[in-house]
Amino acid sequence: MTSGMRIRVRGQVQGVGFRPFVWQLARTHGVTGEVRNDAEGVLVFARGAGLDAFVAALSAEAPPLARVDAVEAAPCEVAERADFVIVASGGPGAETRVTPDAASCADCVAEIFGDGRRRGYAFTNCTNCGPRFSILTGLPYDRGQTTMAPFVMCAACRAEYEDPGDRRFHAQPVACPECGPRVWVERDGVEVAGDWLALAAEALRDGGIVAVKGLGAFHLACDATDAAAVALLRARKRRPAKPFALMAPLEVVRRYASVSEEEAALLQDPAAPIVLLEKAGAALPEEVAPGQATLGWMLPYTPLHHLLCGAVGRPLVMTSGNLSGAPQAIGNAEARETLGGFADAFVMHDREIARRLDDSVERITPQGPMVLRRARGRVPGTLPLPEGFGGRQLVAYGGQMKAAICLVKNRQALLGHHLGELDEALTWEAFVQADRDYAALFDHAPEAVACDLHPGYRATQHAHGLGLPVVEVQHHHAHLAACLGETGWPLDGGRVAGIVLDGTGFGRDRTVWGGELLLGDYRGFSREAHLSPVPLIGGDVAAREPWRNAVAQLDAAGLGEVADAIFSDRPLGMLRQAAAQGVNAPLSSSAGRLFDAFAAVLGFSGAQSYEGEAAMGLEALALQARERGAGYPLDLAGSVLDAAPLWARWRADRDRGVAPAEMAWRFHAGLARGFAGAARRLVETGAAEAVVLSGGCFQNALLLELTVQALEGVPVLVHRKVPANDGGLALGQALVALARLEST
């Protein structure tokens, strides 16, 4: 034995080609020893003259998909040997990070369109790309603990897998047409003879709807240039207006959308998210995204997608394979049963999907990237806890909408994938399964559980049924804490002013909050200001029917006669009687419902077919404004931001015949300036150190931009990697719970 080093590498370092990278590095620097995967990451024993340079390069030159959190080197005795070797993985455990699924790399795409043995093969991958989390069944990450286990490698694939100099060295899903999964086309539950690619492309070009088994679930696809096909898909899926996602190669995307350098880089990121892009150039049918100024585009991210897009030669609608509101299908039998009434044909394959993963949705704003839905390609990536937090294990369950689970362990927060609305029975089943799945996969044993204050939320009820200490966290406090945590605000970093704007959240006074200015930190908060409360007439129905909110707002502003004129065909007497008697009409300060109300007075008269439809239409309308004048005023009286002056100024504009787009702009600007002014005062008086912007309304890029502009000169914290909506709620709950537990 001679003197050397024991080197521990922590982070996202398994399943990303890190061991062959270390092997190559050792050869470059004249180092001997060994490298292995184990429960904590990658472990290296090394000796040699170039050891210092070798250690420095471990993080500085890491592979593309690796994320190195720490390199810990300590002297130790290392056996003398003439070479450097890669040894088998250590025992089971889950201290290391699991790598998210990654889009096909350029080398693999070149192979499927080349002349080699993987030409046209839909499961081509290497250590730099391909499935990871979607096929993983246990740790450490080895082929036997993935859904590739049933496929025995042929001699050629085995040779690549065992060669440290090959880019497929220990690529667990490695396969080829001789030994790997296969693809076929079905109609009416029967396999159709012939080439799957030609059959699928023909069905799409002929206006058919095709269910396509992807990486984390099935999609429903059709020709996006065919208005009749898009309309048929909407009718079958019962999705009348919610925008459809689109898939095409980048050169095709540029024909239909404006793509900046940042947006192009995001599209080409290994996570391959759906990216919201402004319409430009050639037009697609309005049915793709009715009333929207943006389209959601993603690039082909598997070899199957690349082959299909290449064969069709047109942009494809690629929307979730489900009935609206239900989880996506992932199994072949499940898809036949649930999608049989939607699809004219199925593109099937025989590699199982270990867990359901929707596509991530993101956009680029003037403030940087914004995650709207955190899912495939981003999970199970972790976030380091801010300075001051300890290493307790804890689980948090989020809210009722856009459910996601957060696990905390070893000072890392793992925010799980988007699950959906827990009112839906199948989504609830997926939530319970995800809870078990994450706990088992990451060897998680929580000391406590965090949840929302709302006693009616299924996630809250689930938390109370586990027999663990429960920390209930107010909804908007969790939003504030999620933004603090994402941006690395220390536990003792001081208080911030939190502008938290969303649909609804259960308040400490048992009313419905949603347009809030909080002053606080992880440990607690005070409610400094809020929108003037008005009744939500009909309770949850008010969230679906914006006209109800408009009537309530106009009545509260003393403009009942205007409501009478605009909504003369509605049962206003019955509505007002319910409000007066407080029958299913709880008071609410919701900013989301204020958006709905304003959309209704500008012409959105129907029911919303999906959450945020009216508000998204209002944002799109505002962006068309030619005259972008001062915003409508909100008056701060004590702790109330009164919306009555906003409505009075709007009425004057309406009477003068101001264009709806300009009124929509002034609404956004007024809301931004009203809250920003109140928050600025908290900073200027020394009560707050910075301003946090959180809540689902801040996924409106225009509102975000206008609010940041109104806060010029003040430190502002915004979401980048964690959704501002309820998809980030569990992270905030976890941090608040940790802060409270560690202060007791």
Catalytic sites, residue numbers: 19, 37
- Distance (Å, rounded) from C-alpha 240 to C-alpha 567? 23
- Distance (Å, rounded) from C-alpha 484 to C-alpha 744? 21
How many C-beta atoms surround the C-beta of residue 727 within 10 A? 30
- Distance (Å, rounded) from C-alpha 668 to C-alpha 361? 23
Nearest to 438 by CA among 709, 138, 99: 138
How many C-beta atoms surround the C-beta of residue 453 within 10 A? 17
Question: What does the block give as tokens for 527?
Answer: 């409610």
How many C-beta atoms surround the C-beta of residue 22 within 10 A? 29
Whether residue 140 has a cis bond before it, omega within 30° of 0: yes
Contacts of 158 (CB under 8 A, 6+ apart): none
- Distance (Å, rounded) from C-alpha 707 to C-alpha 517? 13
Is-contact 161 101, C-beta < 8 A? no
368 has which bridge partners?
365
- Distance (Å, rounded) from C-alpha 428 to C-alpha 558? 43
- Distance (Å, rounded) from C-alpha 8 to C-alpha 6? 7
Is-contact 153 162, C-beta < 8 A? no
Nearest to 739 by CA among 385, 438, 437, 458: 385
- Distance (Å, rounded) from C-alpha 32 to C-alpha 112? 37
Is-contact 443 677, C-beta < 8 A? no
Is-contact 66 13, C-beta < 8 A? yes
Please tell me the number of Cα atoms within 13 Å of 634 on its side-chain side: 27
525 has which bridge partners?
520
